[in-house]
Amino acid sequence: MDKKKEIYKELLSFAEKAAENSYSPYSKFAVGAAVLCGDGKVYCGTNIENASYGLSMCAERVAVFTAVANGAENIKAVAVYSSSGNVTPCGACRQVISEFAQKADIVYKDKNNKIKIEKINSLLPKCFDKKSLK
C-alpha cells in the first residue's frame, strides 16, 4: 500500500472512532469524520442530532468547524466513516469543505471495504465561493 493510502487508512480509523460518540437517536445512523491538516494534526467530529430534527449536524461539518475553531489553516483531507459504508459528504458538507479546502481529498470506504479517494471539487464542481461574490 502506498504511503498516502496508509495515512488515509489511519485517518479513517480516527473517523470510525469518532462515530462511537455519535448522538443519533432519531436516525440511528452513526457517522464519524476526521480532518487531516497540513501540519499533521487531526480533528474529529460526529453527527449530533436534535429533537428539532432540522438542527441536526453532520459529522463532517462538526469536524471541519472544530479544525477551523482550533486554528487549522491547511485542510488536506476529510475521511468519513459509517458502518454501512459508501458514505460521502452531503451537499451542505461539500459546500463547507470547499470553503476551506478546494483541493481536499475525500476519503471513505465503499461497500467492499475498499478505500476510495475523491477530490472535493469533483464531488462539488462549480461550487459557490468567494469569487462568486465579486
Binding track, positions 28-67, relative to ligand THU; x by CB under 6 A: -x-x---------------x-x------x-xxx-------
What's the closest the beta carbon of residue 119 comes to ligand THU, in angstroms? 17
Report d(CA 42, CA 49) in Å as an integer: 23
Q: Could you say which residues in the range 77-96 bind ligand THU, by CB under 6 A?
A: 80, 87, 89-90, 93
Instruction: Read off the C-alpha cell for 133.
Output: 461574490
CB 127 within 8 A of CB 119: no
Instruction: Note if 73 is an active site residue.
Output: no
Which helix or strand (DSSP H or E) is residue 107 part of?
Answer: strand 105-109
By beta-carbon proximity to ligand THU, the closer residue of 37 and 62 is 62
**Catalytically active residues, by annotation:** 60
